[in-house]
Amino acid sequence: MAYPLTLGTITFFLAVIWGRPLINWLKRNRMGKQIRVEGPSSHQVKMGTPTMGGLMIIIPVVLITSALNLANLLGFNIIGQSVLIPMATLLAFGVLGAIDDLEGIRGTRARGEGMTARTKMTWQIILAVILSLVLFFGPTELRSVAIPGIPQRIEIGWLWIPIAVFLIVSFSNAVNFADGLDGLAGSLAAVAFVCYGVIAYLQGQVWLAAFCLTMVGALLAFLWFNSHPAELFLGDVGSLAIGATLAVVALMTGQWLLLPVVGFMFVAEAASVTLQVSWFKFTKRRYGQGRRIFKMAPLHHHFELSGWSETQVVQRFFLCGILAGMLGVALALI
């Protein structure tokens, strides 16, 4: 475990060094966050804060992972092919998120609005299908599930593909929903990648553990500038890429059944949005007037409007995320 931990530390320092130049570049190019009008009024002061901070994570991770696995990549052996999968996920969903961010900044549709939900979802599904097929027919031929308490993995055949697509798309969106408060999405993602880094290492997948810890180092560097009050926002370029990559890592360990446990707070954020929208539409059809379960969705806004400060919400969600991650790793050891 010494190699992955050392790599994560080195990644942090390399990423944090260019954080300030990145922020200055984003400011010069007016890459400022547009705050949606219907959001909490306290967030209006964040208007103009540089977004697309996910670049601070994606670029160092791709460069460092590529450099350290250059021989494997050139040889295109099993490790080389496998390293390409999480990197390709990070890049592909990063590009999609960057396009969404740029459309939101330019106000193509409305202030703070990027591409339409249908367009973004369509591209997420397309990318997820491609990645799932590569994983299914790739060098590791992933088509099984590990269940806590059962020694042998259970083969599920073709059913694995739609499950993989669902996990990649849903966690890509879940991290995106959690990216609403300073330090929230980044800290929860760091915990999740630590957990899957440990799981991968225990399985003997040292290269995958190293990738996870590289992600953690870059995420911690981002949090250096994203801590309250944030100087830099993650943006869709970061949130979509991080969520999809986390799902792919979970799939590659075979412990994807534990992803909703390890990423419980992400699930809670996404579930709150789904419940809020579904209940509002149902009650509007039934009673002629839409009703809400939460004061505002995603869930972190509900607690904000309930009287919690932004830092309280982030710290308490972070603590819950740590506990969920501990439980997830414990279940993986059974």
pLDDT tens, 144-182?
899 998 888 999 999 999 999 999 999 999 999 999 899
Q: Quickly state the pLDDT bin for 287 (edges 50, 70, 90).
A: confident
State residue 273's pLDDT score.
96
Query: CA torsion 10→16→22→24, rounded to 10°?
Result: -150
Q: What is the mean pLDDT of residues 293-308?
A: 93
- 272 inside domain: no
- 232 inside domain: yes
- 54 inside domain: yes
CA 82 to CA 252: how far, in whole Å? 9
State residue 76's pLDDT score.
65
Helix H or strand E segment including 46: none
- 160 inside domain: yes
Q: Token digits for 292?
A: 């809400």
- 144 inside domain: yes
How many folded domains does the chain comprise? Answer: 1
- 28 inside domain: yes
Closest to 161 in 3D by CA, of 133, 124, 127, 122: 133
Q: What is the mean pLDDT of residues 250-272?
A: 96
- 317 inside domain: no
- Can you give the pTM of this predicted structure? 0.93
Give yes or no for residue 213 having a pLDDT over 60.
Answer: yes
Per the prediction, the chain carries an average pLDDT of 90
Domain with 76, as residue range(s), is 2-258
State residue 114's pLDDT score.
73
Q: What is the mean pLDDT of residues 46-67?
A: 88
- 245 inside domain: yes
State residue 46's pLDDT score.
66
CA 214 to CA 165: how far, in whole Å? 24
State residue 289's pLDDT score.
87
State residue 43's pLDDT score.
59
**pLDDT-wise least confident of 57-61, 142-146, 244-248:** 142-146
Calculate what percentage of the chain has a pLDDT beyond 90.
71
Give yes or no for residue 14 having a pLDDT over 70.
Answer: yes
Give yes or no for residue 110 having a pLDDT over 60.
Answer: no
Residue 255 CB contacts under 8 Å (≥ 6 apart), including other chains: 146, 196, 199, 332
Q: Token digits for 167?
A: 């996990």
Q: What is the mean pLDDT of residues 73-100?
A: 85
Compute the chain's Rg from CA coordinates: 19
Q: What is the mean pLDDT of residues 22-34?
A: 81
Give yes or no for residue 107 having a pLDDT over 90.
Answer: no
